[in-house]
Amino acid sequence: MRKLFGTDGIRGLANVAPMTAETAMAVAIAAGKVLRKSHHRPRVLIGKDTRLSGYMFENALTAGFLSIGMDVLLLGPMPTPAVAMLTRSLRADLGVMISASHNPHHDNGIKLFGADGYKLSDELEAEIERHIGDDSGRVEPEKLGRARRIDDAPGRYIEFAKATFPKGLSLDGLKIVVDCANGAAYRVAPTVLWELGAEIVPLAIDPDGFNINKDCGATHVETLQQAVVAHGAHVGLALDGDADRLQLVDEKGRLIDGDQVLAAIARAWKADGKLRKGTVVATVMSNLGLERWLEGESLTLTRTKVGDRYVLEAMRELDANLGGEQSGHVILSDYATTGDGLIAGLQMLASIVQSGKNTSDVAHVFEALPQLLENVRFASAPPLDDAKVKAAIAAAEKKLGRNGRVLIRKSGTEPLVRVMAEGPTDDAVRDAVGGIVSALIDAGGTKAGGSKASAPAAKPTPKADATAAGGPGRRAKPQRGAAE
């Protein structure tokens, strides 16, 4: 059983156990011992997002890898999918991404990729945990590893991303607002879109170590919605802190979530003969509307546990090439080994260009069922076996019947119980979720933030002062805490 690794690596409050420099060094030593190969000088890539604590973890991981004789290639701030791609491209034994994804700046995390660019399996992560604390792999002084920076890493990823856009197409004539969340893609994403021909309005490209995901990015799309309307843009793209997830906004300022992106790409790829096995892989959180639409198109939806790693595992098992999460992780395995917000965005932009239609016509594919998600926080193990909690869940399921569903799950990254319901009306899902949440609170929980409804976002009121930093392809000036 894994205790340190969750559904997306190791994550927590920076400089508080388990996310300490000491843990990072121990993980580096253990991971290097498990994953390094013997037929060449072992090497590891390390990338990070723009959190201030990234410096601390970068140095701690580097020290651990060097101590067991591995060479370290430092990428600086780069998207998670770029680390996965470069791990393969540069023939490294291991890739490491230092990021807590969409979490606030005070959190951080460590994600590990194998030599093939895929996230490690649960079994490999468990094996790494078993080796933590075993210092037997330390080498003699003359065999210590060396560390160096890869200065052309951003350029390598920029060219890779551009190559996924269909040949013969360009983004000429499109005005695109791109929100980089003050995160890992703050340099590369605007550059890719501009070099493909678009007019760019960049947002959140001035990281200072503290403002990653703060009121911006894929988890805070209100600023993007306002900017798209205010600037008369054709489309808006929002990435998160490590750029592995995507949210879109149409020309009317309405949100397009990951389920709609999956449907739009499935429709385009089916028409082009590119959708393998007639299958889309998504998690248990994806809307029933997506499942029903796919059935109507004679396509199959396969559901997995929450977590893009489980989506990818199912995709590999089924030989499917399209999968993702409602939250915006979209995996296009013809191009990438993990979710890539920018590449998913490029596929959506290609569909818009090829159709000659508005984003709203291309990206709103199906009618989503009303869906509500609320979180309940617990200081200890959540009482899901409590009789009143079980009774509330059963009552909600009976009331919704075949017209909806209830999903209760423990978070893999936080001490939360997530309560989700779908049904025919907003009132039905509010009643279902409310009854279960009340029972959980009576059993010792406290209502947490993060409630989410699936109803389309209302058209935002244009603001004359909608902020847009810089011009096409502008590179943000590093400030205090910003990565090199």
Instruction: State which of 363, 381, 406 marks the end of a domain.
Output: 363
Give the burial string for 80-90 (b: 16+ CB within 10 Å, else e).
Answer: bbbbbbbbbee
CA gap 293, 214 in Å, rounded: 35
Q: Does residue 46 belong to any structural domain of this protein?
A: yes
Residue 429 sits in which domain range?
371-453
Give the burial string for 453-471 (b: 16+ CB within 10 Å, else e).
Answer: bbebbeebeeeeebebbbe
DSSP assigned state of 435? H
| Residue 304 shares a structural domain with residue 411 | no
Residue indicated by tokens 């909806």: 404
Q: Does residue 476 belong to any structural domain of this protein?
A: no
pLDDT tens sequence across 428-446: 999 999 999 999 999 888 8
What's the CATH number where 437 sits?
3.30.310.50
> For residue 25, what is the enclosing H or E element?
helix 21-35
pLDDT tens sequence across 269-293: 999 999 999 999 999 999 999 999 9
- Closest by Cα among 74, 58, 112, 47 to 338: 112
Instruction: State which of 332, 363, 394 marks the end of a domain.
Output: 363
| Residue 91 shares a structural domain with residue 171 | no
Instruction: State which of 344, 363, 382 marks the end of a domain.
Output: 363
Q: Does residue 5 belong to any structural domain of this protein?
A: no
Q: Does residue 77 belong to any structural domain of this protein?
A: yes
Q: Does residue 3 belong to any structural domain of this protein?
A: no
What's the CATH number where 231 sits?
3.40.120.10
Per-residue pLDDT, 482? 37
Per-residue pLDDT, 49? 98
| Residue 142 shares a structural domain with residue 96 | yes
pLDDT tens sequence across 307-333: 888 999 999 999 999 999 999 999 999
Catalytic residue from among 101, 327, 333, 351: 101
| Residue 237 shares a structural domain with residue 251 | yes
CA gap 351, 268 in Å, rounded: 7
CA gap 5, 2 in Å, rounded: 6
Per-residue pLDDT, 457? 39
| Residue 147 shares a structural domain with residue 161 | no
| Residue 121 shares a structural domain with residue 244 | no
Per-residue pLDDT, 453? 67
Per-residue pLDDT, 411? 79
| Residue 88 shares a structural domain with residue 227 | no
Q: Tell me, yes or no, if 101 is annotated catalytic.
A: yes
Q: What pTM does this model have?
A: 0.87
| Residue 342 shares a structural domain with residue 410 | no
| Residue 166 shares a structural domain with residue 145 | no
| Residue 327 shares a structural domain with residue 198 | yes
CA gap 52, 230 in Å, rounded: 32
| Residue 75 shares a structural domain with residue 115 | yes
Do residues 126 and 4 touch, judged by C-beta distance below 8 A? no
CA gap 129, 69 in Å, rounded: 20
| Residue 273 shares a structural domain with residue 392 | no
CA gap 146, 134 in Å, rounded: 22
Residues of the chain with pLDDT under 50: 456-484
Q: Which residues neighbour 39 within 8 Å (Cβ) at sequence distance 6 or greater?
A: none
Q: How big is the chain by its Cα radius of gyration, in Å?
A: 22
Q: Does residue 477 belong to any structural domain of this protein?
A: no
Q: Does residue 439 belong to any structural domain of this protein?
A: yes
Per-residue pLDDT, 414? 73
Q: Does residue 460 belong to any structural domain of this protein?
A: no
What is the count of structural domains for the chain? 3
